Structure 1
Amino acid sequence: MMNKLLRFRTLTLCTIFTIIGATSIEQLLPNNRREVWHSSSVLAQTAENQVANQVYQKTSLAVVTVQTGRGHGSGFVVSQDGFIITNAHVIKPPPRNQKELENYNNQDFPSVVTVVFADGRKVPADVRGFGKGGLDLAVLKIQTQSKLRTLPLATAGSAKVGDRIFTLGTPVDRNFNDTFTQGHITRIDKTNGKIQHDAVIMGGNSGGPLLNVQGQVIGVNTDGISGREKLNTGMNFAIPVSQVQSFITAARKGDVSPVSTIFERTKAPTVATISLNDQVVNGSLAEGDPIRKNGSFVNLYQFQGRAGQQVVIEMTSQKINSFLSLYQMRESSEGQELKKIAENDDREPGDFNAQIATSLPEDGVYLIVATSQERGETGNYTLRATAKP
């Protein structure tokens, strides 16, 4: 009788679990077990929020808005005696169109700017110098303020892909000062250490700090890639702390450039004409060529294109890490404006040659910017342009 009873109980349990087999184990647990699981998730989220809040509280008062006669950017205090780091292009922007290019003078920039702290204090700051060799950094100096908050620098090389990061700055408009965003490191360039991340930054964030979870500076936000609607794409870049540390050391010794070097006109830029009939041009990047914001040398080419035309542009070299950009040239009341159409630095993974394959949006003149991915690279290259029917 007992054996029959045991068989009956076993059969009953098997039947029950067969019937409710689609039910999750979580639903079968007592409410207190489910509450424990839910509480763990909430605690994890709360801990993440606490980290973000702590980073903001520790760093906010050391981050400033840098106001110039032309606009604004961001910066941060690095020492009790009033040294502030920002981007060179915040103080002296590179030319944005043909008219500005023709009139560009790298010595024409304000010697004194205004820095605004998160608590509303406005303080004049002397422009003490710029990074050499195209480094997009500038150092400012204010008179010592009482209880001046500073940001510590992280150990060089401590940042890793996947790390959680934070930004502070003044995007878009100076009324948006003290804006705090967060994200993760998505890439670190193996050659120059430049940090790519997905925290939201926009115009005005330039010069602001990129922070780790300890509130230490791991980089200086410098630029990003925007979509066609001027929206942030999540591809943003920061100068690594190793270069920031070296720059601060040089600045204290007075070993900085008196003018911005991110765009140097050592010789007037020339624009060569290239045809789309599979023409091959042998060129070279050399000392004395115009310089991009990242310090790389530039050669310029133009061609006449048609709306809907499929074009393929290739840049190959055994000497340099090729980089191509394609712009549409437009006339405006301020002169010629450039609209970016496409850019590419590698044809495919492991291939340092560049290729752009795209459809032209309108009839008109287009500008090819042939350069290198890395600052200061020189060497020969071959450029080929083709239009597909």
Structure 2
Amino acid sequence: MSRPRAQGKVLAYASLCLISAVIGGLSTVAAIPYIYPTSTVAPLESANSSFTQVANYTTDQTIYPVAQIAKNVGPAVVGVANFQTGRSFSGKSDLQEVGSGSGFIIDAKKGYIATNNHVVEGAQKITVSLSDGRTLDAKLIGADPRTDLAVLQISDTTNLTAVELGDSSKVEVGQSVVAIGNPGGDEFARSVTTGVISATNRTLNLQGVASYNLIQTDAAINPGNSGGPLVNYQGQVIGINSVKYAETGFEGMGFAIPISDALPTIQQLIASGVAKHPALLVSTDDQYNTYAKTNNKPQGAYISAVTLNGPAAKAGIQQGDVITKINDTEIQNSSDLIRELYKNKVGDKVTLTYIRDGQIKQTEAILGELAST
């Protein structure tokens, strides 16, 4: 996100938004925040949703040249401006643009736009600039600080173009990608940069707090690119660029939220304006896995603390237990644990397989809801 009058907010936001943990709201050595879940992309339909389809999912594997990708995807990319009350040089208080970022249209008929939460955080007014030169007021449908996702809507849907969504669970290291956005604001609208996938499921620490399951790319992601799409060579969106993660001080390292992982939250925001995150309310410590490898112990999510009267505590989970399965899926670490949790909903019952004092045990837990930030 480009913030001409609030340059310090991006890293401050990063520290604030990542402080709470989804597994438990406690800490994993430092803390475990929301870990983007792994899920299979499908058409955005849900029995408890008020909408039928938000975006398109395509299995088209045709490889397009970058120029064609820019031509196809560019019209769906928008600039997003964040206006807040401030004092002008005359001393009067009025709405001023305090930051800008990018977004992309996910439903041309209903005018839904996906972007980052930190792009629109605190906004008293939001505008979007379209590829045809129009600037329109946008309504904030919902935002989720934990996932750094937000959904906007514009009422004038004339001649809108929506993106196509790919399956980010299938991206491979070395795969070519294109980033499109507005680095530096509308002056550089719909700038195109190229690169490759440098890594997947990347763990990143910002000011001592960890985030998980990001796509790392060497495609340039600069302030103002936040909220814009990361696109594969089939012209499908596979990630949502985030300068919040890109500002690490390293050249050639950009990060994106995997689109397959973002979709459940986007669905919830469109359906109800809020996103509910399931939780066991435990803390874990992945340093256990180093010990386990050295001492030939089973891998898993080591429970370092359990919240009193939380879902895990009610299921009998104790400090020192090692969770090795959720339902029938093996758990190797904390990241696996949370991704499996997020395949479920608040109130769902899950079977936990765990090791205590060398013995394999099982219990059932009813997932609670992580408190909002």
Relative to the length of structure 1, the TM-score reads 0.48
2:129 pairs with 116, 135, 143, which one?
Answer: 116
Aligned to 1:365: none
**Contact 2:117/2:149 (CA < 8 Å) preserved in 1?**
yes
> What CA deviation, in whole Å up to 9, does each residue of 1:247-286 have, x standing for no partner?
222123215159xx9xxxxxxxxxxxxxxxxxxxxxxxx9
1:87 pairs with 95, 116, 138, which one?
Answer: 116
Task: For 1:58, give the aligned amino acid.
Answer: N
1:146 pairs with 158, 173, 186, which one?
Answer: 158
Aligned to 1:249: 267
Task: For 2:66, give the aligned amino acid.
Answer: A
The answer as to 2:245 corresponding to 1:206 is: no
Aligned to 1:167: 179
Q: CA deviation at 1:147?
A: 1.7
Whole-Å separation in 1 of the counterparts to 2:82 and 2:235: 27
> What CA deviation, in whole Å up to 9, does each residue of 1:315-361 have, x standing for no partner?
xxx93247xxxxxxxxxxxxxxxxxxxxxxx9xx99x9xxxxxxxxx
Aligned to 2:254: 236
> What CA deviation, in whole Å up to 9, does each residue of 1:111-132 have, x standing for no partner?
5300001232101100111126
SS in 1 for 2:242: strand
> What CA deviation, in whole Å up to 9, does each residue of 1:24-51 have, x standing for no partner?
xxxxxxxxxxxxxxxxxxxxxxxxx961
Superposition map of 1:217-232 within 5 A:
217-223=237-243, 224-226=245-247
SS in 2 for 1:129: strand
Aligned to 1:319: 284
Whole-Å separation in 2 of the counterparts to 1:138 and 1:53: 29
Unmatched 5+ stretches in structure 1 = 1-48, 93-108, 262-285, 288-296, 298-317, 323-345, 353-372, 378-389
The answer as to 2:77 corresponding to 1:63 is: yes
1:196 pairs with 216, 237, 240, which one?
Answer: 216
Superposition map of 1:274-289 within 5 A:
none
Task: For 1:169, give the aligned amino acid.
Answer: G
SS in 1 for 2:183: coil
The answer as to 2:272 corresponding to 1:215 is: no
Distance 1:136 1:321, change over 3 A: farther
Task: For 1:240, give the aligned amino acid.
Answer: P
> What CA deviation, in whole Å up to 9, does each residue of 1:37-82 have, x standing for no partner?
xxxxxxxxxxxx9610110000111000100121100000000210
Distance 1:375 1:89, change over 3 A: farther
SS in 2 for 1:250: helix
Aligned to 1:356: none
1:127 pairs with 119, 132, 140, which one?
Answer: 140
> RMSD in angstroms over aligned alpha carbons?
3.7
**Contact 1:166/1:181 (CA < 8 Å) preserved in 2?**
yes
Unmatched 5+ stretches in structure 2 = 1-62, 84-97, 204-211, 295-300, 302-333, 339-373
**Contact 2:143/2:151 (CA < 8 Å) preserved in 1?**
yes
1:51 pairs with 30, 40, 65, which one?
Answer: 65
Report sequence identity in percent.
Answer: 33
Task: For 1:90, give the aligned amino acid.
Answer: V
Relative to the length of structure 2, the TM-score reads 0.50
**Contact 1:321/1:374 (CA < 8 Å) preserved in 2?**
no
Q: Give the number of the structure whose alpha-carbon radius of gyration is greater.
A: 1
Whole-Å separation in 1 of the counterparts to 2:168 and 2:178: 17
Distance 1:136 1:374, change over 3 A: farther
Whole-Å separation in 1 of the counterparts to 2:260 and 2:82: 27
**Contact 1:73/1:205 (CA < 8 Å) preserved in 2?**
yes
**Contact 1:225/1:233 (CA < 8 Å) preserved in 2?**
no
Whole-Å separation in 1 of the counterparts to 2:213 and 2:167: 13
SS in 2 for 1:157: helix
Whole-Å separation in 2 of the counterparts to 1:82 and 1:225: 28
Whole-Å separation in 2 of the counterparts to 1:216 and 1:202: 21
Distance 1:376 1:71, change over 3 A: farther
**Contact 2:101/2:119 (CA < 8 Å) preserved in 1?**
yes
Distance 1:225 1:139, change over 3 A: closer
Task: For 1:253, give the aligned amino acid.
Answer: A
Superposition map of 1:232-381 within 5 A:
233-254=251-272, 256-257=274-275, 319-321=284-286
**Contact 2:101/2:185 (CA < 8 Å) preserved in 1?**
no
> What CA deviation, in whole Å up to 9, does each residue of 1:270-316 have, x standing for no partner?
xxxxxxxxxxxxxxxx97xxxxxxxxx9xxxxxxxxxxxxxxxxxxx
